[in-house]
Chains A and B, each alone.
Chain A
Amino acid sequence: MKYVIIVSAVLAGCATVPGPEPVPAEQPVPPPAAAPAPETAPAPEGVPAAVPAPRAENIAIAGLMENARADAAAGRLANAAATLERALRIEPRNPRLWQELARVRLKQGQYAQAESVAARSNSWAGSDNALRAENWRLIAEAREARGDAEGARQARELSTR
């Protein structure tokens, strides 16, 4: 009789055990559409070797700029952009940081952003004409890449003025 009790207890227990819950998929999370893609774009030609150094008074900015350039050179473009954004949080009005970011966006193939960010650099450039010329050159390159030959020509003209 005891046997019957135990077996029926098992059966009852069996019947009331909740069914298996959906187990989360093995793959943690599908990488979202905008996840950083492998960045292997070659450096565009014609980048001047000597880019003016950032203002010396803030060594935090100088350090971040250095890291960003190293990352960009090694093709770690998303990291380079993140590092420049860190620097921009410290000095949001530094046109050299905006320019460096434009350069990275260009390498990333984000031409519209490259153009916008270079123009943003121009808005803080004041009377630094060399910096402006380089921004216009970046804008020209971004427009060219987007197939806007006329816009690129205009920008190039501004870059040589």
Chain B
Amino acid sequence: MLRRAQILRYLRLRYLGWAGLALAFAAAVCTLYLDSRVRSEFEGRRFALPARIYARPLELHVGLRIAQPDVEQELRDLGYPEVAREGEFGWFVRSGNELEIALRAFVFWDGPQPAKRLRVAFEDGAITALRDAVGAELPLARLEPLPIGGIYPANNEDRVLVRLGEVPQHFVQALIATEDRQFYTHRGFDPRALVRAALSLASDKIQGGSTITQQLVKNFFLTPERTLQRKVTELIMAVLLELHYDKNEILETYLNEIYFGQDRDRAIHGVGLAAQFYFGKEVQHLTLAESALLVGMVKGPAYYDPYRHPERALERRNLVLRETREHGSITMEQYAAARATELGVTRKPAMGTSPYPAFLRLVHLQMRRDYDEADLRSEGLRIFTTLDPRVQRAAESALTRRLAQFDKERRFGEPGLEGAVVVTDPQSGEVQALVGGRDVRYPGYNRALDAARPVGSLLKPAIYLTALSEPSRYTLLTPIDDGPFVWKSRGAPDWEPANYDKKFHGAVPLRVALAQSYNVATARLGTELGIERVLANVRRLGIEHDLQPFASALLGATDLSPLEVAQMYQTIASGGWRTPLRAIREVTTQEGRPLQRYPLAVEQAFAPEPMYLLTAAMQDVVREGTAQGLKNFLPPELAVAGKTGTTDEQRDAWFAGFTGDRLGVVWIGYDDNRPARLSGSAAALPVWGEMMAALAPEPLALAKPDHIELVWIDPQTGLRGSMGCAGALELPFVQGSAPEGRAPCSGGLDAAAEAVDATVQSAKNWLERLLGK
């Protein structure tokens, strides 16, 4: 028995010995593996930095029409406090109608711009003087552009990298005193802390006791589970990390890695971004008290959130200060002074990944054409966009205010009306504002880009443009028949368009047919010109969409997004010059090295003369036609040109129009395509008008093309008149196309006879055309 037991014991020992050896071997292999991972990853480790997106920089110069409060708002949005901080930059003060601005340095696409002091004087909504600190006149001052979001890594981690040397010494002291007092002496783990942790094995939870190195390893390489295996792996990797790298490298990486809480869906990482987010300053300017607050948050950023739990955060901060006094080298005076200060966090609204999600989506889509998605989310690119926050605010507030009002007046139930707005610069094609729905901060369905809706009468200008390109056949005065009309084509049901008022209006001058948006006259004109020809011009105007070659397309049975409509109207607003809409100006690397520019490109798509005539007719739409309601918002001197659009059963309400300096497109309707019972002029136009009124637009002044002459016309006879004729109009004509006869009211004996002749002639011409001769 004894012998047998001895054998068994021997075997077991042998077995255990082999097993032990195998395990030791496996452990060695595993350690080697962990070692190679620690080295390769830590070495090649580059934090994924989101692409940072900026609004357009505000350029101040004498004569710029901008109200003082708008500049102040821009500075506040930039995080400039309204208080003088001598020796620092990034603040402003107001004294009466003057602003003194201490502008921070900024690296633009075309190079770095140093920090500087400015004095700006305002009068009557414009800048009247711009000077530097010593009073010398400045031609131009470019403010730093507002950050408006980013394209983030998958987990929405955001950070601003800092060097260890930039972090104030008191921050490091506070951190070490609080998180890892033995940091500079241990080898990756703290044995005493480990014993504490081991003792707590008895209970379910594994207690802290992690060194800074261990915390870094955990955040870097491991998932946050708390298991024994994790703890051991973490410990081994921490030791390996310490073998290969010095304390400063580890500390710097840690400072950039630590998590400091959430800004909505954006995760704040690293002390660089935390300094900006909580205190609106660069890390090197953090005070002792501010540093202590941030250090205190490391333990639990949500629990010690200074916004939601200010008392708790303050208590924790003071605890950190005490620890720092006991274990660091701050004096009692420093401690007392820091303890006495308030939390001091900035009071800025949460931004999340972006306050302008709709515009950001446009930027992202345009960037994806030229860049890898992965690079966008990790390389820290800086993207300079065309967004004008002032225009964006005006668009958002006009849309949300009006929609709320319509909902209240009509009570059509949930979900409420929706809408979208696009605003561009007619000369450069830059997109200044984009609103994708009434919940402007919600990054969901983007109606400005993704909602293709029937455009109704918005396509009509293409028909009139086609007609006006033939000055020998059509002028603004050419009578168009608005009598009953049926269009027959093989393989399609008969098409019998009707007017909005369900009436026919007989022969009306071309400009009136557009101004009143008569469907029947327009359909007849379009089919007379040829559907294909008209659609070819729609494409030349910038619509790349497939267009169905049906007659009904002429009256807007074509689905377009508000952005596409903006592209089409852009070509009209710029006088026939097609300019691709752009949301991005420039892209640089994180350090500011220029990568790419999206330059202004123009292409003449139409001769200037017909465009000039069309624009005049579209000004009539506002002056006397379907968009007259605009006079409730804007003075007539602005000579706005535009077009309303309303679709069947008023499911879609549109207005597209332009002033001298801005083009805007507004769509209103229900997502589920319910009839909204609101016309373009009742729903979309007020949004447009309210928005533009807030922006003090420039009047629309067109450059008169060479071959255009202005002729006084007597509206009664449609002949040449003079200013003396009742209701005389000055209308543009391509040279040689204006009526030759003179109206009786224009004076002169033979004028009357001439007038009769001419009337007969023009009636004859018109009849001939009607009969198709």
Indicate if the CB atoms of A120 and B381 lie closer than 8 Å: no
Query: Does A4 count as interface, using CB distance less than 8 angstroms?
Result: yes
Shortest distance in angstroms between B341's beta carbon and chain A's nearest beta carbon? 41
Query: Does A74 count as interface, using CB distance less than 8 angstroms?
Result: no
Query: Does A44 count as interface, using CB distance less than 8 angstroms?
Result: no
- Which of B291-299, B312-320, B589-597, B756-764 touches A? B589-597
**Taking chain A's interface residues, is the majority helix, strand, or loop, or is none over half, making it mixed?**
helix
Indicate if the CB atoms of B40 and A63 lie closer than 8 Å: no
Shortest distance in angstroms between B427's beta carbon and chain A's nearest beta carbon? 4
**Taking chain B's interface residues, is the majority helix, strand, or loop, or is none over half, making it mixed?**
mixed
Q: Known contacts being A24-B48, A29-B381, A32-B596, is A6 close to B604, with CB within 8 Å?
A: no
Select which of B37, B64, B586 is within 8 A of A17 by beta carbon: B37
1/0 contact trace for A1-39 toward B, CB 8 Å? 001101111111110111010011010110111111000
Query: Does A90 count as interface, using CB distance less than 8 angstroms?
Result: yes
Query: Does B601 count as interface, using CB distance less than 8 angstroms?
Result: yes
Indicate if the CB atoms of B62 and A60 lie closer than 8 Å: yes
Alpha-carbon separation in the docked complex, A83 to B64 (Å): 18
Shortest distance in angstroms between A146's beta carbon and chain B's nearest beta carbon? 15
1/0 contact trace for A95-118 toward B, CB 8 Å? 000000100000000001100110
Indicate if the CB atoms of A82 and B139 lie closer than 8 Å: no
Query: Does A86 count as interface, using CB distance less than 8 angstroms?
Result: yes
Interface size on A, residues (CB 8 A): 54
Query: Does B181 count as interface, using CB distance less than 8 angstroms?
Result: no
Select which of A3, A33, A34, A86 is within 8 A of B59 by beta carbon: A86
1/0 contact trace for A110-138 toward B, CB 8 Å? 00110011011001101000000000000
Q: Known contacts being A28-B589, A32-B596, is A79 close to B110, with CB within 8 Å?
A: yes
Most B C-beta atoms less than 10 A away, residue of A18, A59, A63, A119: A59
Alpha-carbon separation in the docked complex, A92 to B705 (Å): 17
Q: Known contacts being A29-B379, A60-B140, A117-B602, is A16 close to B594, with CB within 8 Å?
A: no
Residue ID in chain B nearest A34 by CB atoms: B596
Residue ID in chain B nearest A108 by CB atoms: B599
Alpha-carbon separation in the docked complex, A81 to B110 (Å): 11
- Which of B230-238, B244-252, B687-695 touches A? B230-238
1/0 contact trace for B589-625 toward A, CB 8 Å? 1100011110111111000100000000000000000
Indicate if the CB atoms of A7 and B110 lie closer than 8 Å: no
Query: Does B428 count as interface, using CB distance less than 8 angstroms?
Result: yes
* B residues less than 8 Å from A82 (CB atoms): 109-110, 586, 597, 599
Residue ID in chain A nearest B591 by CB atoms: A28
Alpha-carbon separation in the docked complex, A81 to B589 (Å): 20
Which bracket fits the contact residues of B? Answer: 35 or more
Query: Does B70 count as interface, using CB distance less than 8 angstroms?
Result: no
Shortest distance in angstroms between B182's beta carbon and chain A's nearest beta carbon? 23
Indicate if the CB atoms of B428 and A92 lie closer than 8 Å: yes
Alpha-carbon separation in the docked complex, A130 to B62 (Å): 29
* B residues less than 8 Å from A16 (CB atoms): 229
Query: Does A64 count as interface, using CB distance less than 8 angstroms?
Result: yes
Alpha-carbon separation in the docked complex, A104 to B601 (Å): 13
* B residues less than 8 Å from A144 (CB atoms): none
Q: Known contacts being A13-B232, A23-B45, A63-B140, is A81 close to B62, with CB within 8 Å?
A: no
Alpha-carbon separation in the docked complex, A93 to B700 (Å): 12
Most A C-beta atoms less than 10 A away, residue of B40, B48, B140, B590: B140
Most A C-beta atoms less than 10 A away, residue of B33, B41, B232, B703: B232
Indicate if the CB atoms of B233 and A13 lie closer than 8 Å: yes
Indicate if the CB atoms of B139 and A62 lie closer than 8 Å: yes
Alpha-carbon separation in the docked complex, A61 to B223 (Å): 57
1/0 contact trace for A57-92 toward B, CB 8 Å? 011101110000000000000110111011011101
Indicate if the CB atoms of B46 and A23 lie closer than 8 Å: yes
Residue ID in chain B nearest A85 by CB atoms: B600
Indicate if the CB atoms of B589 and A9 lie closer than 8 Å: no
Indicate if the CB atoms of B30 and A10 lie closer than 8 Å: yes
* B residues less than 8 Å from A20 (CB atoms): 37, 40-41
Query: Does B87 count as interface, using CB distance less than 8 angstroms?
Result: no
* A residues less than 8 Å from B602 (CB atoms): 113, 116-117, 120
Shortest distance in angstroms between B679's beta carbon and chain A's nearest beta carbon? 33
Indicate if the CB atoms of A14 and B34 lie closer than 8 Å: yes
Indicate if the CB atoms of A89 and B599 lie closer than 8 Å: no
Shortest distance in angstroms between B699's beta carbon and chain A's nearest beta carbon? 12
1/0 contact trace for B44-56 toward A, CB 8 Å? 1110100000000
Select which of B27, B139, B577, B595 is within 8 A of A35 by beta carbon: B595
Alpha-carbon separation in the docked complex, A12 to B589 (Å): 42
Alpha-carbon separation in the docked complex, A99 to B60 (Å): 24
Q: List 19 A-B contacts (CB under 8 A).
A: A3-B20, A11-B23, A11-B26, A16-B229, A24-B46, A29-B371, A29-B589, A34-B596, A60-B63, A64-B139, A78-B597, A83-B110, A85-B428, A86-B59, A88-B600, A92-B427, A92-B428, A92-B661, A116-B602
Chain A positions near chain B (C-beta within 8 angstroms): 3-4, 6-14, 16-18, 20, 23-24, 26, 28-29, 31-36, 58-60, 62-64, 78-79, 81-83, 85-86, 88-90, 92-93, 101, 112-113, 116-117, 119-120, 123-124, 126
Known A7-B23, A90-B64; 14 more pairs at CB < 8 Å: A7-B24, A10-B27, A10-B236, A17-B221, A31-B596, A32-B371, A58-B63, A60-B61, A82-B110, A85-B599, A101-B600, A117-B602, A120-B577, A126-B703
